[in-house]
Amino acid sequence: MRPVSSIVAGSPLAVRVLRRTPPRWLRALPDRVSVPLVAARRHERANVEDVVLLEGPGVLTTSAYWLTTRGDEGPAASVFYGCEEILRVDVLATAPHVHYGFNRHRGSDGGEGRVYLPPVVGGDAAARVHHELAHNLPVCLGSHPRRAVRQMRIDQSEAEAVAGRAARHLDALVATRVARA
């Protein structure tokens, strides 16, 4: 049987129906069904530019991009297992934050698992993303509701390499954005 997330990701009709379904109905489903559905619903972000997809570490996919949201902007990165977002680092100018254990949607904070960071300046943004991707990814994997994700082991040297490539891309984005301003 195919995972629910792969069915949704492969069907534009399923994505449209999913977006129109109230979240409270999705949360009423068992975790093995609702977690991938809620994650697939949140997967596309319309307010991103200059996206670079990086394979790894392991079976994970990492994307680094420029995020603009609610009048704030900055570099950001996401780590995906299939179409489920495991970790997201949004280094915005006024409210930088990290989403750990992103798919724990039943929490008291609305499932965001958001941790706010002190404001960062210039090149420190890429360094923050590098640190989160290289060192805190195992924590996100270990707290995920799916057993397959919790049991996943990633090679630390590969995680460092992917984090380094993402940080270099974000450094370039910060440099071009600052040059434009």
Query: Cis before residue 96, ω within 30 degrees of 0?
Result: no
As given in the structure block, the two tokens for residue 21 are 């379904």
- The pLDDT tens digits for 52-69 are 888 877 788 888 888 888
- The pLDDT tens digits for 147-157 are 888 888 888 88
Residue 56 is predicted with a pLDDT of 77
pTM metric for this prediction: 0.69
- The pLDDT tens digits for 17-56 are 666 677 677 667 776 666 666 555 554 555 878 788 888 7
As given in the structure block, the two tokens for residue 40 are 């697939």
